[in-house]
């Protein structure tokens, strides 16, 4: 499926001379909005949104920037949630250490799963990641520390760095926001780095990259581990937000959901997965209070969007004249 998007439109629209400044202004505007918004909307809803936005962005690092479709990202998200919850609740670790453990655990899982799957192409890669994630799901179902169907309940949020009380909702919100922004910065740097350049060249022409001496599998594995670690960051923080970790987060449906978010928003753009996550989470939240069947509606919305906007919402916007005038460009 969506390995490679359409070629960039042939008629080139020169970016507006002020495009850089306009982009900067938009980013500043978004930041200000993120700072104010918890006073307007439910902070818990917003935190959930930020966690999933980070999760989808981490996933996009792999699909959009490396061209690998993983069907097992729930293992990293949900696995980290368990690790963080366990460390904080049972061992009494401070929240930052708990999240760090979640990230490390997810990275390790990613290394193992990636090492097994990375040499497979296309659908085989997706199938193997799915199979491995299912194995991890059954491990979580059986393992003692995850408490089976109950999950790990009433996880204390604790004090960040021993001082900031995260049981205060606003403190927690700003902590989640900070983590989200740091995660995005890491992704942005990763994509726009010497390593990211090689990743891009591999995506563009793998044979050529090999013939230039690059051990393609290692670069892909590097991206896979980074994506897993960031998915773990999102999962660990989510466990603190909701104060529990359950099987829902490691189930295959979660892997499907993150694919949906990313495709909806647009792969290969920094903002696409964020928009996609926002849309899906909002829709779920809205439908949860209604009588509509959630999965069917999200499924239908997804189908419509994929048929109408092949590049995803943000990708389509970037491809419009306005988008290109503003100097936006999706990864090919």
Partner 1 sequence: MASAATQAEPRVVLSARGLGRDFAGFTAVNNVDLDVEHARIHALIGPNGAGKTTVFNLLTKFLQPTRGRITLLGQDITATAPDKVARLGLVRSFQISAVFPHLTVRENVKVALQRPAGLATQFWLPLSSLDRLNARADDLIEQLGLAPYRDHRAADLSYGRKRVLEIATTLALDPEVLLLDEPMAGMGQEDVRMVAEIIRDVARSRAVLMVEHNLNVVADICDHVTVLQRGEIIARGDYATVSADPRVRTAYMGSEA
Q: Does 182 bind partner 1 (CB under 8 A)?
A: no
Q: Does 226 bind partner 1 (CB under 8 A)?
A: yes
What one-character DSSP code corresponds to residue 214? -
Q: What are the φ/ψ torsions at residue 146 (nearest 5 degrees)? A: -90, -10
Q: Does 189 bind partner 1 (CB under 8 A)?
A: yes
Q: Does 21 bind partner 1 (CB under 8 A)?
A: no
Q: Does 196 bind partner 1 (CB under 8 A)?
A: yes
Nearer to partner 1 by C-beta: 12 or 142?
A: 12
Q: Does 319 bind partner 1 (CB under 8 A)?
A: no
The secondary structure of 65-129 as a DSSP string is HH----S-THHHHHHHHHHHHHHHHHS---HHHHHHHHHHHHHHHHHHHHHHHTTS-HHHHHHHH
Helix 216-242 with 43-66: angle, nearest 10 deg? 170
Q: Does 185 bind partner 1 (CB under 8 A)?
A: no
| Residue from 30, 197, 296, 300 binding partner 1 (CB under 8 A) | 197
Q: Does 321 bind partner 1 (CB under 8 A)?
A: no
| Residue from 11, 14, 39, 194 binding partner 1 (CB under 8 A) | 194
Nearer to partner 1 by C-beta: 95 or 222?
A: 222
Q: Does 14 bind partner 1 (CB under 8 A)?
A: no
Which range of residues in 50-58, 122-130, 134-142, 212-220 is near partner 1 by CB under 8 A? 212-220
For the record, the structure tokens of 210 come out as 């090999």
Across-strand partners of 165? 159
- At residue 165, the 3 state secondary structure works out as strand
Nearer to partner 1 by C-beta: 167 or 215?
A: 215
The secondary structure of 225-268 as a DSSP string is HHHHHHHHHHHHHHHHHHT-B-GGGGSHHHHHHHHHHHHHH-TT
Q: Are 251 and 78 in contact (CB under 8 A)?
A: yes
Nearer to partner 1 by C-beta: 10 or 289?
A: 10
Q: Does 200 bind partner 1 (CB under 8 A)?
A: yes
Which range of residues in 44-52, 134-142, 207-215, 317-325 is near partner 1 by CB under 8 A? 207-215
For the record, the structure tokens of 220 come out as 């892909």
Task: State the residues that interact with partner 1 by CB under 8 A.
Answer: 7-8, 189-190, 192-198, 200-201, 204-205, 207-216, 222, 226, 332
């Amino acid at each position: 499926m969506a390995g490679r998007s359409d070629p960039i439109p042939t008629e080139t629209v020169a970016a507006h001379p002020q495009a850089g400044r306009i982009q900067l202004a938009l980013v500043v505007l978004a930041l200000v909005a993120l700072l104010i918004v918890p006073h307007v909307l439910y902070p818990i809803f917003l935190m959930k949104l930020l966690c999933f936005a980070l999760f989808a962005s981490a996933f996009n690092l792999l699909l959009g920037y490396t061209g690998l479709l993983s069907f097992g990202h729930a293992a990293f998200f949900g696995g980290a949630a368990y690790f963080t919850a366990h460390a904080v609740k049972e061992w009494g670790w401070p929240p930052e250490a708990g999240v760090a453990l979640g990230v490390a655990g997810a990275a390790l899982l990613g290394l193992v799963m990636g090492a097994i799957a990375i040499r497979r192409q296309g659908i085989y890669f997706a199938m193997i990641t799915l199979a491995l994630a299912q194995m991890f799901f059954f491990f979580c179902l059986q393992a003692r520390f995850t408490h089976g169907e109950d999950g790990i309940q009433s996880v204390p949020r604790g004090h960040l760095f021993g001082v900031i009380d995260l049981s205060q909702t606003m403190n927690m919100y700003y902590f989640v926001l900070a983590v989200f922004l740091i995660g995005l910065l890491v992704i942005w740097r990763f994509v726009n780095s010497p390593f990211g350049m090689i990743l891009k060249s591999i995506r563009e022409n793998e044979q050529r990259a090999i013939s230039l001496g690059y051990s393609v599998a290692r670069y892909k594995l590097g991206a896979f581990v980074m994506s897993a670690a960031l998915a773990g960051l999102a999962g660990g923080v989510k466990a603190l937000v909701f104060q529990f970790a359950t099987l829902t987060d490691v189930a295959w449906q979660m892997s499907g959901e993150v694919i949906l978010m990313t495709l909806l928003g647009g792969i290969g753009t920094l903002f696409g997965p964020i928009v996609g996550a926002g849309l899906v989470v909002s829709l779920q939240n809205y439908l949860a209070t209604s009588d509509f069947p959630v999965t069917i509606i999200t499924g239908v919305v997804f189908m419509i969007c994929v048929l109408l906007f092949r590049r995803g919402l943000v990708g389509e916007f970037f491809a419009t004249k306005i988008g290109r005038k503003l100097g936006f460009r999706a990864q090919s």
